[in-house]
Amino acid sequence: MSVIPTLDSANPFADVWSTPFGAPPFASIRPEHFRPAYDAALTLNRAEIDAIATNPEPPTFANVIEAMERAGSAVDRISSVFWNLSGTMSDEPIREIERDLSPILSRHDSAIMLDPRLFARIDAVFKGRHAAGLDAEQLRLVERTHKSFTRAGAALGEAERTRLAEINERLATLGTAFSQNVLKDEGDFILLLENDDDLAGLTKDFLSGAAALAADRGHTGKHAVSLSRGAVEDFLTNSTRRDLREKLLNAFLMRGESGGPTDNRAIIAETLALRHERARLTGYKTYADYKLDDTMAGDTAAVYELMESVWRPGRLAALRDRERLQALARDEGGNFALAGHDWRHYAEKLRRADHAIDDGELRPYFELDRMIEAAFFVANKLFGLVFEERHDIETYHPDVRVFEARDANGEHVALFLGDYFARPSKHGGAWMSAFRRQRKFNGEQRPIIVNVLNISKPSPGAPALLSIGEAGTLFHEFGHALHGMLSNVTYETLSGTAVSSDFVELPSQLYEHWLMTREVLTRFARHHATGAPLPDDLIDRLRAARKFNQGFATVEFCSSAFVDMDAHMSENVPDPMALEVATLARIENPAEIPMRHRTPHFGHVFAGEGYAAGYYSYLWSAVLDADAFAAFEETGDVFNPDVAKKLRENIYAAGNLRDPREAYTRFRGRLPSVEPLLRGRGFV
């Protein structure tokens, strides 16, 4: 069966895939296949949209809204593969295609979203929706579709629509350039450790991965550190070489601000100006007002109120910790003022003193395979899912693992791909994405979900041992994955993670809580060599230490969130770096705690628009997740089946069927309180 009739049959995107579960045939897909596939699919999609827009029949839910749900499936299938590979297997051929495609796809999307003929029919269905006999999900789909078109500017005049299309195209080009610049800065840099003195303080497991990286970069017999966040944080924590810590942190903080061809500062200034112009064209005072109009928070006042309520006690806690860390450094003979490259190093020493916990002591108990099993175990206890590894399904890289998820009745639920190790072709950070999203309309479709992490790969034969932070990231991204896998809606537009940006982090951040439960630690935190469980007293100390260094974590995050909001609240930002400095001064950010994401490499905000004027979402969701986990704790059973059932039905499986406030209230019986978050961080 041909998917794109005009495409050469030798192109793997031309036909339905006969692979197990219809997974992408990665071994057959080459870079040269994408452009002809896109050209044919975009032509087909334009014809589909034109047919909807010019249909002589009166507009109805079926011939407008459902017809749009069917349209574009060929483009979506190509995009799901291409954009996932551009994030995980980015080489120059892929990057070149990405640069070429970004403006083309933007023009295509704008032509649809700004088509006055199409919008007239959508608007007619919207106005008659209450008399059309639609069910709740159909009504929600009509309203979400109409809102997306009005926010895009579909109701504006021709001149405004033309300008919006130009802005969208330019922003797509800028976002691609920003992302590729950061990737190049990350991929080009290594800190080469030349001799034994350079290795002081580093753990055996870290050195295993550092040796493998050095060999991969042509420095066999030496050690190297990349700019992946996990490697940087590990080095800053354990290395006793203050000069090397400073060198590595400076390189990490200066990504995208080199002054050379990968410098992102001009890109950021233009991006902010264009976003502001687009917001004004669509009737909003600032881009932040535009973005927050379609979120759970609702407006900028609510966001700033939340950030201030957490920032104030978090900053005070960080200042108290700073004095203790400075005293510790002084007691060791350190005749220097504490700096950003010192905080993690001395905080780890303080954690050992306060809680008798050593990161090096913990890592052997948090082996990657066992943490994957732990994440699967929690999904089974909460939702009845069972995961089985499959070796008969093609992947895009040898490191990628594939698992089939089945329900309690043995029925197929989803495919899950885990891509855990860092490599130069992979963007930094961690994320969840989909090669296919769930739907029931237009043919039952089960999801294919991928988690991408950047764990340092050990040398051959050595175990991959995780820090507590890395294990938390694994659970976090798997929470996102479950949001995609458990989706149970009719229409793909409302499926899985297609929710507001300040609600999408609830399923992921909530899932992190189960990692630190006694039930999970006792069962899965086992020594990689001996199989011995994490000692009970160490579990007690680990759980007691959850509030440790929360001032640092809060300041590190909130400083980035404040800069993001201030930038998008401003009408003119000719110098983004000056704005960053001004914001940090306004909030009195402790100089010893750098922003988690400085502006020149703030990919959440400038490599696309997902978290633009929205980085606060992690904090908003932190309020939700602390309150949601308390629902389990209040029963005395962190796997309480009744609470888990409500969680699945109203959060993980519900997609965007309801307004997020309604969805949360259906689960919890009320809206959330900030108290569990402040209590969990030790601020009250």
pLDDT tens-digit readout, 153-212? 999 999 999 999 999 999 999 999 999 999 999 999 999 999 999 999 999 989 999 999
- Say whether both 33 and 102 belong to one domain: yes
pLDDT of residue 399 exceeding 70: yes
pLDDT of residue 1 exceeding 70: no
What is the model's pLDDT at position 179? 96
- Say whether both 435 and 489 belong to one domain: yes
Q: How many residues does the chain have?
A: 684
What is the model's pLDDT at position 379? 98
Domain boundary among 137, 152, 183: 183
- Say whether both 514 and 374 belong to one domain: yes
- Say whether both 313 and 371 belong to one domain: no
Q: Would you say residue 112 lies in a domain?
A: yes
Q: Would you say residue 351 lies in a domain?
A: no
Q: Determine the 3-state secondary structure of 655 from DSSP.
A: coil
Give the span between the Cα atoms of 344 and 27, in whole angstroms. Answer: 43
pLDDT of residue 11 exceeding 60: yes
Give the span between the Cα atoms of 160 and 653, in whole angstroms. Answer: 39
Q: Would you say residue 12 lies in a domain?
A: no
Model confidence pLDDT, tens digit, residues 105-121: 999 999 999 999 999 99
Q: Determine the 3-state secondary structure of 365 from DSSP.
A: helix
Model confidence pLDDT, tens digit, residues 259-287: 999 999 999 999 999 999 999 999 999 99
- Say whether both 25 and 173 belong to one domain: yes
Q: How confident is the model at residue 598 (pLDDT cuts 50, 70, 90)?
A: very high
Give the span between the Cα atoms of 113 and 123, in whole angstroms. Answer: 13
Catalytic residue among 66, 348, 367, 477: 477
Give the span between the Cα atoms of 465 and 492, in whole angstroms. Answer: 38
Q: Would you say residue 89 lies in a domain?
A: yes
Model confidence pLDDT, tens digit, residues 493-548: 999 999 999 999 999 999 999 999 999 999 999 999 999 999 999 999 999 899 99
Q: How confident is the model at residue 2 (pLDDT cuts 50, 70, 90)?
A: confident
DSSP 424: T
Model confidence pLDDT, tens digit, residues 286-345: 999 999 999 999 999 999 999 999 999 999 999 999 999 999 999 999 999 999 999 999
Q: What percentage of the chain has pLDDT greater than the value 90?
A: 97
DSSP per-residue codes, 66-118 = IHHHHTTHHHHHHHHHHHHHHHHS--HHHHHHHHHHHHHHHHHHHHHHT-HHH
Q: Would you say residue 524 lies in a domain?
A: no
**CATH of residue 96:** 1.10.1370.40
Range of the domain at 380: 364-519
pLDDT of residue 137 exceeding 80: yes
What is the model's pLDDT at position 358? 84
Establish how many alpha carbons lie within 13 A of residue 308's alpha carbon, considering only the half-sphere containing its beta carbon. 8
Q: Would you say residue 352 lies in a domain?
A: no
- Say whether both 515 and 565 belong to one domain: no
With contact defined as beta carbons under 8 Å apart, do 68 and 145 qualify?
yes
Domain boundary among 504, 519, 534: 519
- Say whether both 178 and 220 belong to one domain: no
Amino acid letter, residue 103: P
What is the model's pLDDT at position 316? 98
Domain count, the chain: 4
Q: What percentage of the chain has pLDDT greater than the value 70?
A: 100
- Does the active-site annotation cover 633? no
Give the span between the Cα atoms of 532 and 65, in whole angstroms. Answer: 57
- Say whether both 643 and 504 belong to one domain: no
- Say whether both 220 and 294 belong to one domain: no
- Say whether both 368 and 467 belong to one domain: yes
Q: Would you say residue 356 lies in a domain?
A: no
What is the model's pLDDT at position 391? 97
What is the model's pLDDT at position 357? 87
What is the model's pLDDT at position 601? 98
Give the span between the Cα atoms of 296 and 286, in whole angstroms. Answer: 18
Interacting residues of 628 by C-beta distance below 8 A, sequence separation 6+: 506, 510, 647, 651, 664, 667, 668, 672
- Say whether both 431 and 491 belong to one domain: yes
Q: Would you say residue 407 lies in a domain?
A: yes
What is the model's pLDDT at position 359? 82
What is the model's pLDDT at position 145? 98
- Say whether both 174 and 193 belong to one domain: no
Model confidence pLDDT, tens digit, residues 479-494: 999 999 999 999 999 9
